[in-house]
Amino acid sequence: MTWGQRKRFADGKVSMPYKRFLGYEKGEDGSPKIIESEAEIVRMIYSLFMEGKTTSAITRHLAERGILSPGGKKKWQVATVDSILTNEKYKGDALLQKRFTVDFLSKKMKDNEGEVPQYYVQNSHPAIIEPDEFDAVQAEIQRRKKLGRPAACQSPLSTKLVCGDCGGFYGSKVWGSNTKYRRVIWRCNDKYRGDSKCSTPHVTEEEVKKKFLEAFNSLLEYREELISNCRLSQTVLCDYSDLASELDDLYRELEVVAELSRKAIYENAHIAINQSEWQERNNGYLERHQKATERIAELEDRKREKQSKNRMIESFIRNLESCDILKEFDECLWIAAIDKVVVNPDAGLTFHFKDGTNYAK
């Protein structure tokens, strides 16, 4: 049975746990088939994430709209959304044998950390998410990890307000919690840590929302010029044609090195060769392969960053094109448009929009 399963993997045959896998069902030919109603939920999750929502905020969004989880439950788990956002099967590829059975009697399984072969199959089935969008999401996941942003998000201001003094995040604090003067304010989380405290003041949610309306409405006054600048930014900052060209060269280099290594191994098996000379030559091939692989990983990361930036700017442009003067705070627009808001020591706020535009208020 183990041999049969691994033979299926080697042949590139994809199977899924369809009962708990959102978006696909088993087709008549045995291959994955898209369930369009569920695929729309998957696309919504990817879209909400790229608009700036955290995974915990996405779970609440889905539950509030009565959308059931893959297991048929009303409550979504953060781990479920994480899995959907990182599963390569949604872009039409499949990494096979991620886990394997350690003991057939106990049915104990573990993550595959190199103990048994893995197989990556490209274009193995219809994609729900475009590969570029999937890669952009992976880049955004890594970007948020580097920022160290918290996973939970109870307010649209969470992870958006930044201290202009120390660079730390603002968090909500309650004053007079058990009195009639109870008040919620936002203050730098690191204000009283260390020897010296931050000089930035506290702010209220109402104050931030009011100034956001003023900042965004001011941008609409020169909407066409701003959209033109955004398009220029996309051309200059998001173009990865040079990276793609170098990646093509590197992938060809890997093919060449693999063929040279294969020939060297064949010769060594059939012809009497000085082993020290052969080992030196083979080590050279291995070194070339490693250098190319490391460079590919670096360029792929840069490519994903540019793709992610491009999607953020495109989303910002769509919001500019579709919006009229704002009269009340719009949480979806806030998430889609704002990268961060810096609270300055003089109590002023600097809004950093996702297209790179800054506005001080």
Coil/strand/helix, residue 93: coil
| Residue 59: per-residue pLDDT | 92
Dihedral over alpha carbons 260, 265, 269, 270 (to 10 degrees): 0
| Angle between helices 78-86 and 36-50 in degrees, nearest 10 | 90
Specify the residue for token string 């009229």: 324
pLDDT in 10s for each residue of the chain, 361 residues: 555 555 555 555 666 777 888 999 888 877 888 999 999 999 999 988 877 788 888 999 999 999 999 888 899 999 999 999 998 889 888 776 555 555 555 556 556 555 445 556 677 788 999 887 887 788 778 777 776 655 445 577 877 899 998 888 898 888 887 888 888 899 998 888 777 788 999 999 999 999 999 988 888 888 888 888 888 888 887 888 899 899 999 999 989 988 998 888 888 888 888 888 888 988 998 899 899 989 998 998 888 888 877 877 887 788 778 778 888 887 767 877 788 899 999 889 999 987 778 888 7
Please tell me the distance from the alpha carbon of residue 20 to that of residue 72, in angstroms, as a whole number: 8
The class that CATH gives domain 2-147 is alpha beta
Predicted confidence at residue 331, as pLDDT, reads 76
Contact (Cβ atoms closer than 8 angstroms) between residue 61 and residue 69: no
Provide the pLDDT for residue 115: 46
CA distances from 87 to 67, 83, 294, 357 (A): 20, 6, 23, 33
Structure tokens at 129: 């998410």
Beta partners for residue 171, in sequence order:
187
For residue 353, the SS3 value is: strand
Domain ranges of the chain: 2-147, 161-223+323-360, 237-319
Per DSSP, the three-state class of 107 is coil
Report the SS3 class of residue 94.
Answer: strand
Instruction: For the chain, report the end-to-end CA distance as a whole number of angstroms.
Output: 67
pTM for the predicted model, two decimal places: 0.56
Q: At 13, which helix (H) or strand (E)?
A: none
CB-based burial label for 294 (10 Å; 0-12, 13-18, 19+)? exposed
**DSSP-assigned letters across all residues of 175-235:** ESTTSTT-EEEEEETTTTSSSS---PPPB-HHHHHHHHHHHHHHHHTTHHHHHHHHHHHHH
Helix or strand holding residue 127 (H, E): none
Distance CA 176, CA 181 (A): 6
Q: Contact 199/192 with Cβ under 8 angstroms?
A: no
Question: Which residue bears the tokens 């309306």?
Answer: 213
Core vs surface per residue 275-284: b (16+ CB within 10 A) or e: eeeeeebeee
* Residue 35 CB coordination number (10 Å): 17
Q: Report how far residue 142's alpha carbon sits from residue 47's, in angstroms, rounded to the nearest whole number.
A: 17
